[in-house]
Amino acid sequence: MRDLAVYSQRLASLIQAVQTPDFPHQLVATLRSLVPIEDATVVVYPERNFPVVEYFEEPEEVSTSTLDRFVLGAFVLDPFYIAGTEQQFGVFRLRDLSPQGFRDSEYYKNWYRNCGYQDECGFIVRLSDSAFINIALGKTRSRSRFSQSQVELLRDIAPVIETLCRRHWEFDTQAAPGAVDLRKQLHEALDHFGKSLLTDREAQVINLVLHGHSTKTVAEKLSISIETVKLHRKHAYAKLEVSSQAELFYLFLDSLMSAKNYGGGDTLVAYLKPPQ
């Protein structure tokens, strides 16, 4: 009963905070009163635009460059973002959305590991056809994981959390008429990355590697052998002049973030072009 009383008090404060700058803080405090978490991030994805981080508990040892890279392009590889673009809404654990081998990916190492996450459970809340929110709840202590009962509790309260989030953010995330769809441009850049230098199959392999797929799952998705995947990856790395997944990840991000007035195609064309 004590836990219910604390939650009720937090929920009352959250309702009062709708349409005020204190809402993200009260939102996290409300969820924290129900489920033990050590970290939280609230990311809003407006229609057609880059994400806006509304709440972030940054560990002292993490540099701001991690968050900068996230909002400027790395988010397109995030499993929660991908789920939102695929109209998957609700409460999910990272393991529910990420491909096999994701924890070995450079995206995981550069975002989740830098944040100190051992496990993540998050809400994906729909605001409109293309706008949504990700409320990421993290456990950072060694061997700490979200239990099934904790996940079910978050799912039980999801309707009220979703309603309040829509009341707070829905109109702030609408795109202006005729606004450029910046997120769509990033998706196109990811889809075309490396295609100016690679064969179609090599580009497919590289795309899946960037998304965190293991060699085995790449082979399964493309219906080819593991050895063939390794061969395509080896040839692609040679053509892109990288020697590891880490170098591939940073080449993708650097070319993406260097692209100005992107008009389509492979961002490597302009990135690798000698300066005039």
CATH (domain of 56)? 3.30.450.80
Quick one: pLDDT at residue 276?
A: 54
Quick one: pLDDT at residue 80?
A: 96
φ, ψ for residue 54, nearest 5 deg: -90, -25
Query: Last residue of a domain, which of 113, 141, 173?
Result: 173
Residue the block writes with tokens 């489920």: 35
pLDDT tens per residue, range 29-77: 999 999 999 889 999 999 988 899 999 886 555 445 577 788 888 899 9
* Shared domain check, 225 and 158: no
Q: Packing angle between helix 23-32 and helix 148-169, nearest 10 degrees?
A: 160
* Shared domain check, 26 and 149: yes
* Shared domain check, 252 and 169: no
Which residue(s) pair with 39 in the sheet? 138
pLDDT lower than 70: segments of the chain: 1-2, 58-65, 274-276
Query: Last residue of a domain, which of 138, 173, 208?
Result: 173
* Shared domain check, 195 and 156: no
Quick one: pLDDT at residue 1?
A: 45
* Shared domain check, 195 and 58: no
DSSP-based three-state secondary structure for 63: coil
Quick one: pLDDT at residue 275?
A: 57
DSSP-based three-state secondary structure for 51: coil
Quick one: pLDDT at residue 232?
A: 97
Range of the domain at 261: 182-271
Query: Last residue of a domain, which of 139, 173, 207?
Result: 173
Say if 15 falls within a structural domain: no
Say if 13 falls within a structural domain: no
* Shared domain check, 192 and 124: no
Give the DSSP per-residue string, 88-143: --EEEEHHHHSPTTGGGSHHHHHTHHHHT-SEEEEEEEE-SSS-EEEEEEEE-STT
